[in-house]
Structure 1
């Protein structure tokens, strides 16, 4: 503390003298205190504390806003970052990380497919005449399933058919649902690119894409019937999705883009009691599916003319599989031979079965009964040796199938479904893809085949742009 003195002014002295003449004479002292630094906080606490509190809150608020802005920009940048696939190597990422980077799981926007059951991934533009039901065994790996879905889009199967995937449980369905969504999106992107190229002045060559969009156009008047799946939409279905164009039908009427629905069911929905469980210690989907088909086909019995049943795990569809049954009677059921080392016993292949809707419904109604009968004939140690291929083979020669009420016109092909590995073994280089595409259905028994087919697809500039694993 310091002390400083100064004389009063005359006016001040006079005034003071007048009022207090007896008390103040001479020089007065004015005391000015200069507080030391260590006492500043104590002396200024009352006046400075509110200001400091406001300042600190302002700084904290600004800091939070800046931090929030930073994280927002970071998340936006990462979400729009496209990784360079060529720079990703197995040395840097594990197989799982590499796969998740290529195919991130996306939230699903789906609805019920039929009467509060099933999952509808894509509602078609119109009602289709044919139905493909594909059962997905629990042992099916994701890469094989992805290739199967991709090929049914590219082959034109979805241009004329509704496609149903049958899973064993909701958990398995959840595992593969994002694959269906991603391949549906890739198909939409492929359609949009082809439409843009078709409408542009740039000439489009076959060397740029092996995808044929013309297979997905149909006459506009056919689009008046709504699909059986999903919620009814009372609107003009001839209006295709945004970004998908129309084309001249060449004198045969206006053509619009047309495709079928893609959906799935769980076995727990169609066979909630697992009706075969009491007769078999373990019921694989290859058998349980026969207890699911009657409910599904019964509910859509007036909507489809032809049905094909396909095993996803062991089969690839390269072309329309209905070619052999479209001109047959509604009671027809077409079966392939199965290669068997024992030539004395004729077997049929249960991986692919096609036929008229009536014949297929009758077969699906009979098969569960025959499976139970076969299970009861086996002893306990061999209960799980029941094979639907063997049961089908027995039904083909059974007189029961030729009765008036259960007439099924079986047509057994003299050919077997070709194995992909044997087709590749006879060719090399560019002839591989051509050899595979010459067949509507091939037996998928080699993971190298998947690599070769994907490599062929990715060799085209336009096609490779829509598939992230190219």
Structure 2
């Protein structure tokens, strides 16, 4: 107040001394300003608790959602099974992975689990079923069609024999079924025989490394058939997904061997012949005829991968040795055919149960056969007779030398021999003598002769092998 009075007096003095100049001083008390600030703080504080509660609620919900997401992520990752391509193969994994290296000093590395994996996947370009992926690419392809009339024990015998006698050691094996339902019916047989083969390799390898000795007569299975020299560059099979292999990183050494076996897979006719192209010309198209409409697509997709191809009828033939012995040194256009026994000696006929040849000649034959089947069907006035057979068509095709030699360039080789029939080989013998006589031949014609019980008796007589097969 004193300052105010002094200032007022000064102002009045100045006004007296300087007429015409007046000053107006406005004073704001400090107490009012502080009160206004306090009121503002009180108002903000009164409205702030609602905002804090809302923010805390959002934060809590976000934390809960985050925890739930991580829980689901961890649960998903814990139940995820990695694919084969991401698995580093170990000596104790199943033989579907990669070839295992064995040496003269370390043969114990050849080992397979007693309960092998039985998963399957697509064989080629999202078609077919791959039951076993081979150790490397093979140059021989064996296509076996399974007719609807084929029974399970005949199919099992065919598959068991090609496993035991080394046919799968150098060949990829493809089974052709008439429909997906037929494929599903026989798929468990393929898996069981694949598992039995791996168990057989396990047991014989353990016996090979142990001090226990057994005579050769106790088992006809020879593990050495599946040995081959390790190559510096081994191409992977074309079937299924590619597997990252460390085989090329293994150091080479003298006497180093790898386990060698081919792939086992299947297709059904609806995949390779989706339209059933022969159905418009025949009332009923059996697989023995429809297979010729399936071969062009299959062989066309793998034409650069195989050197030799053999076509086999599972119901009527058994393969126990290399079926390519007679065409291995022939030209790629060669096709080898067996004669078919016929009561009429004046009329020779080709046996369609087993046909082998170079890949080029077999492709050309498979491209010509559907056309010839249609031509033969149209020559018959009554389609209901269904008198067309691929054996007769093959015989006519071979007889027409001008057509197949000039237009198709197929080098047919007709054997003077016929495939031995099981009935003539069995005769009146019994027991192991029958099995021995049968095993001396590479190919046997069944002709509806039941050989399952015969071979089962021979295989199960071995103490070593009887522990592998369930039906022993």
Instruction: Kindly state the Cα deviation for residue 224 of structure 1 after the two structures are TM-superposed.
Output: 1.4
> Structure 1's 405 and 154: CA in aligned 2 closer, same or farther, altered over 3 A?
same
> Structure 1's 243 and 437: CA in aligned 2 closer, same or farther, altered over 3 A?
farther
Residues 200 and 465 in structure 2, CA contact (< 8 A), matched pair in contact too:
yes
Rounded to whole Å, the distance in 2 between the matches of 1:240 and 1:337 is 49
Q: Which has the higher mean CA deviation after the structures are superposed, 94-103 or 255-264?
A: 94-103
> Structure 1's 31 and 162: CA in aligned 2 closer, same or farther, altered over 3 A?
farther
Instruction: Kindly state the Cα deviation for residue 450 of structure 1 after the two structures are TM-superposed.
Output: 1.6
Q: Which has the higher mean CA deviation after the structures are superposed, 453-462 or 84-93?
A: 84-93
> Structure 1's 156 and 52: CA in aligned 2 closer, same or farther, altered over 3 A?
farther
> Structure 1's 153 and 72: CA in aligned 2 closer, same or farther, altered over 3 A?
farther
Q: Which residue matches 2:105? A: 96
Instruction: Kindly state the Cα deviation for residue 430 of structure 1 after the two structures are TM-superposed.
Output: 2.9
Q: What are the Cα deviations for residues 169-209 of structure 1, in whole angstroms up to 9, with x where unaligned?
A: 00000000000000000000000111111111222421332
Q: What are the Cα deviations for residues 364-417 of structure 1, in whole angstroms up to 9, with x where unaligned?
A: 000000000000000125551100000000011113444445111111111111
Residues 309 and 357 in structure 2, CA contact (< 8 A), matched pair in contact too:
yes
Residues 155 and 319 in structure 1, CA contact (< 8 A), matched pair in contact too:
yes
Residues 137 and 313 in structure 1, CA contact (< 8 A), matched pair in contact too:
yes
Instruction: Kindly state the Cα deviation for residue 136 of structure 1 after the two structures are TM-superposed.
Output: 0.2
Q: Which has the higher mean CA deviation after the structures are superposed, 143-152 or 235-244?
A: 235-244
> Structure 1's 318 and 403: CA in aligned 2 closer, same or farther, altered over 3 A?
closer
Instruction: Kindly state the Cα deviation for residue 210 of structure 1 after the two structures are TM-superposed.
Output: 1.0
Q: Which has the higher mean CA deviation after the structures are superposed, 76-85 or 416-425?
A: 76-85
Q: Which residue matches 2:67? A: 68
TM-score (normalised: structure 1): 0.73
Rounded to whole Å, the distance in 1 between the matches of 2:17 and 2:155 is 110
What secondary structure sits across from 1:393 in the alignment?
Answer: helix
What secondary structure sits across from 1:67 in the alignment?
Answer: helix
Q: What are the Cα deviations for residues 137-196 of structure 1, in whole angstroms up to 9, with x where unaligned?
A: 001000100000000101100000000000000000000000000000000000011111
Rounded to whole Å, the distance in 2 between the matches of 1:308 and 1:165 is 12
Alignment of 1:211-230 (within 5 A): 211-221=221-231, 224-230=234-240
Rounded to whole Å, the distance in 1 between the matches of 2:39 and 2:186 is 70
Q: Which has the higher mean CA deviation after the structures are superposed, 452-461 or 266-275?
A: 452-461
The answer to whether 1:410 aligns with 2:409 is: no
Rounded to whole Å, the distance in 1 between the matches of 2:76 and 2:359 is 52
Residues 125 and 240 in structure 1, CA contact (< 8 A), matched pair in contact too:
no
Q: Which has the higher mean CA deviation after the structures are superposed, 235-244 or 323-332?
A: 235-244
Paired residue total: 455
Rounded to whole Å, the distance in 2 between the matches of 1:347 and 1:415 is 12
> Structure 1's 347 and 86: CA in aligned 2 closer, same or farther, altered over 3 A?
same
Instruction: Kindly state the Cα deviation for residue 449 of structure 1 after the two structures are TM-superposed.
Output: 2.0
Rounded to whole Å, the distance in 2 between the matches of 1:116 and 1:233 is 17
Residues 112 and 202 in structure 2, CA contact (< 8 A), matched pair in contact too:
no
Rg bigger for which structure? 2
Rounded to whole Å, the distance in 2 between the matches of 1:270 and 1:394 is 26
Rounded to whole Å, the distance in 1 between the matches of 2:86 and 2:137 is 45
Rounded to whole Å, the distance in 2 between the matches of 1:468 and 1:36 is 105
> Structure 1's 25 and 449: CA in aligned 2 closer, same or farther, altered over 3 A?
farther
Residues 268 and 274 in structure 1, CA contact (< 8 A), matched pair in contact too:
yes
Rounded to whole Å, the distance in 2 between the matches of 1:115 and 1:85 is 18
Instruction: Kindly state the Cα deviation for residue 101 of structure 1 after the two structures are TM-superposed.
Output: 31
What secondary structure sits across from 1:316 in the alignment?
Answer: strand
> Structure 1's 55 and 278: CA in aligned 2 closer, same or farther, altered over 3 A?
same
> Structure 1's 65 and 115: CA in aligned 2 closer, same or farther, altered over 3 A?
closer
Q: Which has the higher mean CA deviation after the structures are superposed, 209-218 or 56-65?
A: 56-65
Rounded to whole Å, the distance in 2 between the matches of 1:217 and 1:373 is 48
Q: CA RMSD in A?
A: 13.3
What secondary structure sits across from 1:468 in the alignment?
Answer: coil
Q: What are the Cα deviations for residues 294-344 of structure 1, in whole angstroms up to 9, with x where unaligned?
A: 000000000000000000011111211111110111111011111112222
Residues 168 and 285 in structure 1, CA contact (< 8 A), matched pair in contact too:
yes
> Structure 1's 172 and 12: CA in aligned 2 closer, same or farther, altered over 3 A?
farther
Instruction: Kindly state the Cα deviation for residue 428 of structure 1 after the two structures are TM-superposed.
Output: 3.6
> Structure 1's 351 and 55: CA in aligned 2 closer, same or farther, altered over 3 A?
farther
Instruction: Kindly state the Cα deviation for residue 96 of structure 1 after the two structures are TM-superposed.
Output: 48
> Structure 1's 422 and 403: CA in aligned 2 closer, same or farther, altered over 3 A?
closer
Residues 113 and 199 in structure 2, CA contact (< 8 A), matched pair in contact too:
no
Rounded to whole Å, the distance in 2 between the matches of 1:310 and 1:15 is 130
> Structure 1's 120 and 238: CA in aligned 2 closer, same or farther, altered over 3 A?
farther
> Structure 1's 340 and 77: CA in aligned 2 closer, same or farther, altered over 3 A?
farther
> Structure 1's 87 and 269: CA in aligned 2 closer, same or farther, altered over 3 A?
closer
Rounded to whole Å, the distance in 1 between the matches of 2:203 and 2:196 is 11
> Structure 1's 101 and 327: CA in aligned 2 closer, same or farther, altered over 3 A?
closer
Rounded to whole Å, the distance in 2 between the matches of 1:207 and 1:77 is 53
> Structure 1's 402 and 68: CA in aligned 2 closer, same or farther, altered over 3 A?
same
Q: Which has the higher mean CA deviation after the structures are superposed, 306-315 or 39-48?
A: 39-48
Q: What are the Cα deviations for residues 96-137 of structure 1, in whole angstroms up to 9, with x where unaligned?
A: 999999999999954000000000000000000100000000
